[in-house]
């Protein structure tokens, strides 16, 4: 269920999404990235990778730090993003639902997928696996076993990053010192895995044709 409590307690959290959506005033977003701080991180630790690969695709970063599935649902219902008409959505959410069971996490992700399809008829969704993390890894990997069943290869595609994020000491390849958020190399890893599928679903822009500011 959509939940606004988090934002009522800390309205400053919404500033990032507000600014990002406002930047698309008057034009469509061909892609939308839906998620939490890992998605928001495209515009910080992943900024160089974002600018090289996704800014030219008119991509909207719709991630907010700390979001759980129910918070994403609230933002989708209360932000003016339906008018953007994206063709591809990249969804990565669930890692903050660590107090839920794996089936509950999967149900929440499914609700986000359904909401996305309802808002944008015909959209292609790339559902990204929840990344490894130290705080609740077993739980998230159990959720991933359910999430992969949501893919049908026609409207929803599953992108499994877990095999690429191999263990490194007490951490995983591509993660920062907090064992949760990607570092710059992690965003490059994600982009490298994501782009072939994105290019299949959304042809890349023609070189030499300027992108709208």
Q: Could you tell me which residue, 109 or 23, shows the higher pLDDT?
A: 109
Q: Give the position of tokens 């660590």.
A: 98
The whole-angstrom separation of Cα 130 and Cα 137 is: 9
* Whether the Cβ atoms of residue 40 and residue 96 lie closer than 8 Å to each other: no
Q: Are strands 31-35 and 88-92 parallel, antiparallel or unpaired?
A: parallel
Name the pLDDT band for 206 (thresholds 50, 70, 90).
low
CB neighbourhood size of 166 (10 A)? 10
* Whether the Cβ atoms of residue 149 and residue 109 lie closer than 8 Å to each other: no
Q: Could you tell me which residue, 164 or 28, shows the higher pLDDT?
A: 164
Tokens standing for residue 102: 């794996």
CB neighbourhood size of 186 (10 A)? 24
pLDDT averaged over the chain?
93
Per-residue pLDDT tens digits for 167-194: 999 999 999 999 999 999 999 999 999 9
Q: What is the DSSP letter of 175?
A: B
The whole-angstrom separation of Cα 154 and Cα 151 is: 8
The whole-angstrom separation of Cα 200 and Cα 52 is: 18
Name the pLDDT band for 91 (thresholds 50, 70, 90).
very high
Q: Could you tell me which residue, 24 or 198, shows the higher pLDDT?
A: 198
CB neighbourhood size of 98 (10 A)? 13
Q: What is the pLDDT of residue 8?
A: 85
CATH node for 5-199: 3.40.50.1110
Give kind and range of the element (H or E) at residue 207.
none
Q: What is the pLDDT of residue 213?
A: 44
Residue 113, helix vs strand vs coil:
helix
pLDDT above 50 for 151: yes
Q: What is the pLDDT of residue 191?
A: 98
Q: What is the pLDDT of residue 204?
A: 83
pLDDT above 70 for 209: no
DSSP assignment of 51-88, as one string? HHHTGGGTEEEEE-TT--HHHHHHHHHHSS-GGG--SE
Q: What is the pLDDT of residue 136?
A: 97
Per-residue pLDDT tens digits for 50-65: 999 999 999 999 999 9
Q: What is the pLDDT of residue 16?
A: 84
Per-residue pLDDT tens digits for 16-42: 888 989 988 888 899 999 999 999 999
């Amino acid at each position: 269920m959509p939940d606004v409590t988090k934002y009522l307690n800390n309205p400053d959290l919404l500033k990032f999404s507000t600014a990002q959506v406002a930047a698309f005033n008057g034009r469509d977003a061909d892609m939308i990235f839906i998620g939490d701080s890992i998605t928001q991180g495209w515009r910080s630790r992943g900024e160089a990778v974002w600018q090289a690969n996704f800014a030219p695709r008119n991509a909207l970063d719709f991630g907010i730090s700390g979001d759980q599935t129910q918070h994403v649902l609230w933002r989708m219902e209360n932000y003016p993003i339906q008018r953007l008409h994206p063709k591809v959505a990249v969804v990565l959410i669930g890692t903050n639902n660590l107090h839920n069971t794996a089936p509950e996490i999967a149900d929440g992700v499914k609700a986000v997928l359904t909401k996305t399809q309802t808002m944008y008829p015909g959209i292609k969704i790339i559902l990204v696996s929840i990344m490894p993390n130290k705080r609740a890894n077993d739980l998230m990997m159990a959720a991933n076993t359910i999430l992969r069943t949501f893919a049908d290869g026609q409207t929803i595609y599953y992108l499994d990053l877990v095999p690429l994020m191999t263990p490194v000491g007490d951490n995983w390849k591509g993660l920062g010192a907090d064992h949760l958020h990607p570092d710059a190399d992690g965003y490059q890893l994600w982009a490298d895995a994501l782009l072939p599928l994105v290019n299949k679903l959304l042809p890349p822009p023609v070189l030499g044709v300027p992108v709208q500011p």
